[in-house]
Chains A and B, each alone.
Chain A
Amino acid sequence: MVVLKTEGLKKYYGDVKALDDVSVEIEEGELLAVIGPSGSGKTTLLRSVAGFVQLDGGKIYIRGRDVTDLPPEKRNVAMFFQNYALWPHMTVFENVAYGLKVRKLSKEKIREKVEWVLNFLDIGHLANRKPSQLSGGQQQRVALARAIVVEPDLLLLDEPLSNLDAKIRMRIRFELRSMLKKLNIATLYVTHDQEEALSIADRIAVMSNGKILQVGEPREIYRKPVNLFVADFVGVNCVVRARPEAVRKLGIAVPEGAEELSLVIRAEEAVLSRYNASIEKTPHDLLLNGVIVGRLYLGAKTRYEVKLQELDDNIFINSEEDFQLNEPVQVLVKEGSYFLYA
């Protein structure tokens, strides 16, 4: 069953199109991540679904019900705010119980549900603390508990991990995904972190300038980006601007009539080897010659700046091997790890 359906949402701020004909769908239990750089309109989309944005056009349906003109309090979607928005004058218990009180549940029922959700999120022992006495990670859980305890039709997550430090963030990704799957709750997840989206989402929508450029499963987004923007935004890449003749010489089919091409190379998948090493390659793989012009020691790996001979541009590739400055090297980019756009 379709939980959320938006049809042609439009929102303009003066000349800026924050939402430009945005249509998405979320199925029961599905986690859709919307990614894009800041200013792409992803947060505006989330806030329109919550009802905090006055739209200039389009329709929003939640479980088939037209909620476009309903105020936020009548939509039964629960939002997780990027800064948590916990109420400082209430305890954790009161924060989480708020939505249930509004729904006029009995005292016993409220206690039961709040205790369940706090234990589910492993923060049962914090029930009587005030938000100011909690760590960032604990506050994040309380905000999540407050949103899911009301059993909303749809969960809206606005950059839920962005305020956590990098190490915790990695660990929480797994927890968050398995938790959302356990609850089987339809979720709209907004983030600027493409890696986070790839690892956590069932499907991903890539946004730029108020438009949705591509919607698909993480693998599809990563392997078959529809345009230069998506290809460059997802993954760790180097974009090389090249003339068609130079690209043709590498043995890749070049689109007709293009004056300049953009070659997106997934730097995280490119392999660096010595110039005289023998390398097995298929006809569709890309083998480039270059020279090391810079190196940066990162611990387990070293980051090399490689000047490409054929393409007259520099790219950055990490490698575990040790290369010297000015050493000639070969760069192998497998089929599916590079994309060519006119």
Chain B
Amino acid sequence: MLRMVALLLVVPCALAACGDAPDAGARVRLATTTSTENSGLLRAILPAFEAESGLRVDVIAVGTGQALALGERGEADLVLVHARPLEDAFVAAGHGVERRDVMWNDFVIAGPPADPAGVRGLRDGAAALTRLAAAGATFVARGDGSGTDVREQALWRAGGGRPSWAGYLVAGQGMGPCLTIADEKRAYVLTDRGTLLAYRARLELQVLVEGDEDLRNPYGAILVNPARHAHVNAEGARALLAWLTSPAGQAAIAAFRVGEHVLFHPHVGG
């Protein structure tokens, strides 16, 4: 019986391993956030790197929290995320080495066109959130440890703490589902501009608050510490990191468009 179970487990794994690229040295595992994958950025820029280096990049698109957890366990070679406090803690704990700024995009506060709480045109993210709380508006929060979640909490702290009110809904879902929930409930939501653009055809939500320095969203790439995990492809990860921050990589990021919109700004000269 036990042997049967073992066989049932081993055979599919072996088959899957054969089907996958056997040469681990030619593969870089990039753990990153859903925003870079869903927006189409990585699909647009990575082929150039793959052609140039002969490496294949496997993108694992998850939330910032999970991406860092994967790096911590050595399940990824390079992480590309956006939550500076978590990134610094990751490096300080010795899980990662060589953090580099790669690019930035921005957060916006979106809401129903009628804007019952009257935040349209505000530029200060923290002040806008405080006004939403005071008005008792419905607000959909990510609450999933993602970079957006981390930023939202930072904005609340900057505004003197988050009051608790019945309209504050913690969805614990990705950005896309949260936008759908906010749209259905005619609620407000903090989102990265890229995901909102990708969903805009299906939503009534409009950008109401934008442009503040507080709403800038920088992305950093960190090498997973090869001293901790002998099996990580440090060489490949270093090559990808070097390319992302090179003039060629930065130009590719700057050239990426969704429709006519620029989504990500390269760090250099941005």
Do A and B originate from a single complex?
A: no
- Give residues in B with beta carbon < 8 Å to A: none
- Give residues in A with beta carbon < 8 Å to B: none
